[in-house]
């Protein structure tokens, strides 16, 4: 049972304390309830651009990083389609420094033109480096709109294109801040060798006087279930043809999440997995193959992706993947197969929980999802999964009408 | 409440490291065991002097490592993998220029059977031809993808110019090399550099006496001494080399030179200088080239230490149109370090940041074991991290300026760019 104490400030900020007496380092994690899903379709990439701007100085503190470094600390952040997360790690004696910094930028950003100008360029370079200048880098920019026709998941966190980022104005930036960054929209998780009294004191001292802003009510229409097969081919300068097959499934909080997770393990986790042995080792149709889930909070995807070996046609490759997917509808020949993925999950969970940062992040996720009371249930949920449930998941998920496929064709020369 | 005033903070006082117990197994095989672990996790790393510098043919070491668990006369690679998985075990193959081996992950109650399966597979490995072909295809595919990236091409070129294209440290494979590697090459290397070579074991976790006995029995199989090999170094190239890459939207840049090892009297102070220059998010390079000019998503500098060589490097990817400007800015920052004393304020801030880094890098048993491996492989004293801490405390701004003048001379650096 993870050691947790939870309380709320008057302004709506949720605070959770996780005590860990073994580490000299404390972790302060602030997760905001805003992600790419909350963007205007004509102003995408904003939540991520904003994450960068949050390091550009706040009303009372011109530079975020320096005072934190001075206190022996380090910080980072990430944005995805669902949330934006900021975390600081520093010697536990200096915990107050992180409270001071995080609270000031929640109170008010500095909003300097220079900061916007520079971070725009930095994000544009990131777009190039990670998505445009890498082989297969823009695959998801092409696949998402095929799957999601109306839902905001149709664009990636980096944005639909560079122009949206290049054209962002200061007014839009300020508007975004006041709409999404406020105590009522955030969860603060503190982990380390300190006490609940101290965490309460620091929370009240630094966050207590931040005014509650208007609670952002998310109103996103769910993407309707898919009813027909969708397909797209793109040409890119890549060394091998590749295929990406996506199937709609339940979101992170659903039972399907766990079923999909174990299914993807059975299919492609490690060198004993089905797809690896059939498609890479035995038939050599692929040089690599991977099955995984996206765990979106609004909607989930089960994805199979791989690179085709030379001379293998698209039809052969697709057919081979479908055969493996359809096998999941049949009863399992070996009961050890399900046991092994459950045992592997147990081992990896224990290793993962060694890290204070991982534990703190997990708490923040569960609180913001509204399922903190289920945080200790993970192992049981995986353990309780039966073969029959996996079969039912396969029947429901692995259907042509539920599938969007992207094929990347390599251009010559 | 005045939010402009920073809360008080304390400076770290030193590094509190714990070290593993040293246990001598049979035939001089050393086991280092860290057992103060509060959960059931067990990690065992088995390391041999079998890195790429030992090979007599390019790719020989890498492919032998890939095929360590590729099958025996009685079990296929898949069967071996199934057995390990059934116990909830994980394994990783590790290789760099100096060391190669395996890491096994399990729990207190499962580590022994996992170990037995893995070591049985290793001891009786027959390197099946089909497995080799499969690994060659996978690796070649990965190689082709990597070869399209300016960053990779730049790294390869940098290594070749720094150490020499024929040197074990500078050597880079070509596509044809993937087709020349033969099963016999691997069978040979497996024998000489794994079976007939002495490993070192690093164990983190609670285990019972039975498992230690298992390791004792296993170590009896190694009756050879450790393989040795020292890479001879040539003088490096200097100057500016650019390779155009059609269609690239970013240029990768590497700047650097050969340097000294961790025992050198200037090592600690140079690390402080490097951190200020390019070793953390607020560095001179980041503040200028990313945060001020917006030329890049990331830029950094470091000192990489291998067994027989080391090098200083600056590394980044920038927009193609700002490549020469970015390089100019790097040299501008070097000149500043040489000509302007670093302020006490900046110096203190970076020192404090580094003290925090020491804490982060020694947080927990796995991290402490990594610190110990560093001491062990580089033959450093146990006081190394505290010596480091004290040296940082004592290094002055004046000393840093001297170091910058001595080691960062433009004419002694190589500048490589691709894109």
pLDDT in tens, A107-133: 999 888 988 998 898 899 889 888 987
Q: For residues A170 and A157, what is the distance between their CA atoms, to the nearest angstrom?
A: 20
Nearest Cα of chain A lies from the Cα of B407 at a distance, in angstroms, of: 26
Cβ within 8 Å of A, B 37-76 = 38-41, 43
Segment A356-404, tens digit of pLDDT: 999 999 999 999 999 999 999 999 999 999 999 999 999 999 999 999 9
Q: Identify the H or E element spanning A143.
A: helix A139-147
**Strands (DSSP E) along A217-326, which ranges?**
230-236, 242-249, 286-293, 300-308
Segment A176-220, tens digit of pLDDT: 999 999 999 999 999 999 999 999 999 999 999 999 999 889 999
Q: Which of B364, B45, B96 has the alpha carbon at shortest distance from A356?
A: B364
Nearest CB to B10: which of A94, A270, A307?
A: A94
Nearest Cα of chain A lies from the Cα of B309 at a distance, in angstroms, of: 30
B297/A contact by beta carbon, under 8 A: yes
Q: For residues B350 and A72, what is the distance between their CA atoms, to the nearest angstrom?
A: 9
Q: For residues B38 and B58, what is the distance between their CA atoms, to the nearest angstrom?
A: 43
B414-418 β-sheet, strand order: B239-243, B414-418, B250-258, B310-319, B296-305
pLDDT confidence of residue A413: 52
Residue of B12, B319, B356 to mutate, testing the A interface (most A Cβ within 10 Å of its Cβ): B356
Q: For residues A74 and A87, what is the distance between their CA atoms, to the nearest angstrom?
A: 8
Chain B residues near residue A346 by CB distance under 8 angstroms = 88, 107
A-B contacts at Cβ under 8 angstroms: 208
B367/A contact by beta carbon, under 8 A: no
pLDDT confidence of residue A111: 87
Q: Does the distance separating the beta carbons of A73 and B4 come in below 8 Å?
A: no
Cβ within 8 Å of B, A 71-90 = 71-74, 89-90
Chain A residues near residue B147 by CB distance under 8 angstroms = 239
Chain A residues near residue B317 by CB distance under 8 angstroms = 125, 129, 133
- Taking a C-beta distance cutoff of 8 angstroms, is the pair A28, A16 a contact? no
Segment B28-83, tens digit of pLDDT: 899 999 999 999 999 999 999 999 999 999 999 999 999 999 999 999 999 999 99
Q: Is B196 helix (H, G, I), strand (E, B) or coil?
A: coil
Q: Does the distance separating the beta carbons of B352 and A72 come in below 8 Å?
A: yes
A238/B contact by beta carbon, under 8 A: yes
- Taking a C-beta distance cutoff of 8 angstroms, is the pair B179, B24 a contact? no
Q: Which two tokens stand for residue A196?
A: 């609940």
Q: Does pLDDT of B315 surpass 80?
A: yes
Nearest CB to A125: which of B85, B297, B348?
A: B297
Residue found by looking up tokens 């999909």 in the block: A260
The complex's ipTM? Answer: 0.90
Scanning B164-250, the segments in alpha helix (DSSP H) are: 175-180, 183-190, 209-219
**Strands (DSSP E) along B64-199, which ranges?**
90-95, 100-107
Q: Which of B6, B360, B231 has the alpha carbon at shortest distance from A101?
A: B6
Chain A: residue whose CA lies nearest to B88: A344
**What is the 3-state composition of chain A as percent helix, strand, coil, each rounded to the nearest 5?**
45, 20, 35
Nearest CB to B81: which of A66, A121, A270?
A: A270
Q: Identify the H or E element spanning A389.
A: helix A387-397
Q: What is the mean pLDDT of chain A?
A: 95
Segment B231-272, tens digit of pLDDT: 999 899 999 999 999 988 899 999 999 999 999 999 999 999
B105's CB contacts (< 8 A; 6+ apart) are: A347, A351, B41, B42, B43, B89, B90, B91, B92
Nearest Cα of chain A lies from the Cα of B167 at a distance, in angstroms, of: 29
Nearest Cα of chain B lies from the Cα of A97 at a distance, in angstroms, of: 6
Nearest CB to B281: which of A25, A65, A125?
A: A65
List average pLDDT for each run of 10 residues in chain A, which is 413 residues long. 95 98 96 97 93 92 94 96 98 98 96 89 88 90 97 96 90 93 97 98 98 93 98 94 98 97 96 95 94 98 96 97 98 93 96 96 97 95 97 98 98 71
pLDDT confidence of residue A128: 86
């Amino acid at each position: 049972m993870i050691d947790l104490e939870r309380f709320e400030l008057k302004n709506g900020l949720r605070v959770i304390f996780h005590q860990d007496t073994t580490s000299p380092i404390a972790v302060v994690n602030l997760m905001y309830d805003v992600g790419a899903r909350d963007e205007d379709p004509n102003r995408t990439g904003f939540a991520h651009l904003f994450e960068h701007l949050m390091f550009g100085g706040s009303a009372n503190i011109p530079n975020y990083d320096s005072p934190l470094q001075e206190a022996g600390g380090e910080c980072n952040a990430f944005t995805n389609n669902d949330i934006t997360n900021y975390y600081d790690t520093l010697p536990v004696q200096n915990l107050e420094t992180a409270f001071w910094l995080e609270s000031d930028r929640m109170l008010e950003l500095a909003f300097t033109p220079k900061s916007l100008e520079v971070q725009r360029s930095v994000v544009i370079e990131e777009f190039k480096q990670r998505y445009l200048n890498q082989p297969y880098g823009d695959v998801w920019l092409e696949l998402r709109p095929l799957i999601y026709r109306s839902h905001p998941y149709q664009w990636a966190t980096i944005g639909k294109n560079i122009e949206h980022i290049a054209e962002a104005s200061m007014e839009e930036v300020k508007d975004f801040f006041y709409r999404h960054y406020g105590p009522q929209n955030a969860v603060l998780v503190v982990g380390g060798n300190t006490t609940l009294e101290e965490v309460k004191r620091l929370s009240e001292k630094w966050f207590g006087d931040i005014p509650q802003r208007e609670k952002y009510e998310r109103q996103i229409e769910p993407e309707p279930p898919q009813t027909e097969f969708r397909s797209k081919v793109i040409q890119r300068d890549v060394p091998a043809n590749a295929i990406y097959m996506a199937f709609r499934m339940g979101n992170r909080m659903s039972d399907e999440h766990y079923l999909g997770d174990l299914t993807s393990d059975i299919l492609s986790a490690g060198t004993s997995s089905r797809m690896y042995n059939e498609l890479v080792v035995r038939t050599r149709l692929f040089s690599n193959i991977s099955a995984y889930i996206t765990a979106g909070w609004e909607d989930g995807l089960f994805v199979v992706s791989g690179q085709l070996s030379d001379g293998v046609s698209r039809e052969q490759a697709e057919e081979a993947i479908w055969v493996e997917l359809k096998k999941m509808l049949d009863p399992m020949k070996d009961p050890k197969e399900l046991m092994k993925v459950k045992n592997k999950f147990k081992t990896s969970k224990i290793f993962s929980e060694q890290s204070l940062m991982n534990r703190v992040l997990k708490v923040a996720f569960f609180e913001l999802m509204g399922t903190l009371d289920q945080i200790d249930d993970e192992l049981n949920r995986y353990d309780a999964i039966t073969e029959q449930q996996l079969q039912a998941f396969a029947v429901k998920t692995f259907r042509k009408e539920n599938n969007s496929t992207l094929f990347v064709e390599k251009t010559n020369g | 409440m005045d939010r402009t005033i920073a809360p008080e903070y304390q400076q770290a006082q030193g590094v509190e490291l714990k070290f593993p117990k040293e246990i001598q197994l049979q035939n001089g095989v050393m086991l280092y065991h860290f057992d103060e672990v509060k959960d059931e996790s067990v990690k065992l790393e088995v390391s041999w002097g079998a890195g790429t510098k030992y090979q007599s043919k390019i790719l020989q070491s890498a492919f032998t490592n890939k095929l360590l668990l590729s099958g025996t006369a009685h079990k296929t690679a898949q069967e071996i993998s199934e057995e390990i998985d059934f116990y909830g075990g994980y394994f990783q193959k590790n290789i760099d220029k100096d060391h190669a081996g395996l890491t096994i992950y399990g729990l207190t109650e499962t580590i022994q059977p996992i170990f037995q399966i893995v070591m049985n597979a290793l001891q009786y490995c027959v390197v099946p031809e089909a497995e080799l072909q499969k690994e060659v295809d996978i690796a070649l595919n990965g190689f082709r993808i990597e070869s399209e990236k300016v960053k990779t091409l730049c790294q390869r070129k940098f290594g070749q110019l720094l150490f020499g294209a024929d040197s074990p440290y500078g050597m880079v494979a070509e596509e044809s090399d993937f087709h020349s590697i033969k099963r016999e090459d691997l069978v040979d290397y497996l024998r000489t550099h794994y079976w007939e070579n002495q490993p070192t074991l690093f164990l983190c976790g609670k285990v019972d006496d039975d498992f230690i006995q298992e390791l004792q029995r296993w170590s009896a199989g190694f009756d050879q001494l450790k393989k040795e090999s020292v890479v001879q170094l040539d003088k490096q190239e200097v100057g500016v080399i650019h390779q155009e890459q059609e269609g690239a939207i970013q240029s990768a840049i590497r700047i650097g030179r050969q340097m000294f090892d961790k025992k050198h009297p200037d090592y600690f102070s140079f690390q402080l200088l490097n951190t200020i220059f390019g070793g953390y998010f607020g560095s001179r390079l980041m503040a200028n080239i990313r945060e001020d000019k917006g030329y890049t998503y990331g830029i950094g500098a470091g000192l990489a230490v291998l067994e027989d060589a080391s090098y200083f490097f600056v590394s980044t990817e920038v927009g193609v149109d700002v490549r020469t400007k970015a390089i100019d800015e790097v040299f501008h920052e070097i000149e500043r370090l040489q000509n302007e004393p670093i302020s006490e304020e900046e110096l203190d801030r970076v020192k404090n940041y580094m003290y925090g880094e020491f804490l982060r890098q020694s947080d927990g048993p796995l991290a402490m074991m990594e610190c110990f491996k560093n001491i062990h492989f580089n033959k450093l004293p146990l006081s190394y991290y505290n010596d480091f801490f004290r040296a940082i405390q004592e290094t002055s701004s004046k000393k840093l300026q001297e170091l910058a003048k001595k080691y960062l001379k433009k004419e002694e650096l190589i500048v490589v760019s691709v894109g």
